[in-house]
Structure 1
Amino acid sequence: MSNPTPQRADYPHFQPITTRWHDNDAYGHVNNVTYYSFFDTAVNTYLIQVGGLDIHDGEVVGFVVSSACDYFASIAFPDLIEIGLRVGKLGNSSVQYELAVFKVGEAEACAAGRFVHVFVDRASNQPVPIPPGLRAALQRLAI
């Protein structure tokens, strides 16, 4: 049995993304690897703007340790899209994000993905508890 296509109503936060000319591949649609860039952009924008993540000088950084994506419908430049973001699992030092790509104004996702961040100490690369500000921001997205 296949999973139903994710719906816009399933996501508490959206990050607008503008597709770019060079996102299209030889087949005339956004290449599959570009979706991972969209996901990374949506998550890190949220972490910086809402969670206060300091990507340049902060003591903690997030490493992606797992990722996947399923595709339902094509997108292509110049589509305007939004990345739906939610948290599926929040651990001590890790978080699993669940994301979906929506064309602006459409209810059904064109793609859905997930990835796991493990937060580590920048100097040692060892896992550390998620800092309180980031944890609070992530809890807002928990399903």
Structure 2
Amino acid sequence: MSTDVSGMIECRPLALIWGEDDEDAVWHAAIDLFLLNTGNAYDALACLFGVRNSFGFQPLTEDRGLPEDASDGLRDAFNAWGGPQDAHGTTWISWAELAAANWDETDRSGTLSRRTVAGDETHWAPVWDVMRTLGELHGPEHVRLVVWFD
């Protein structure tokens, strides 16, 4: 049985202008991963999120759950997909964390790097492009990727 990734990029545009504690500095659903055609290459899912990690990567993020302050759009998509009863590995990561990651880190065998399996030259490039652009506009800490798996 295969494992597929679902999720969404969110951003919090008014946090940069008004501050994170402002009542209008809420998260907004930006784009569904489905539209960015990430695929389900297990080596990428392993190094990014710890899912199907027979490769021995140290994942960038793993099992953080759905963010408490998730946008209504994200919650609606997550619940329409099946919610916590049908999802596993739900987690999130900010653009600031992704930008600071060691993309040259390798799997247990030392043959696959994070950059090789999920970097800017892979099927994840459109995701990173969207997040990078939103991060430049709204600040890298105000952009995040939220994912779950079936």
TM-score by length of 2: 0.31
> Larger helix proportion, structure 1 or 2?
2
TM-score by length of 1: 0.32
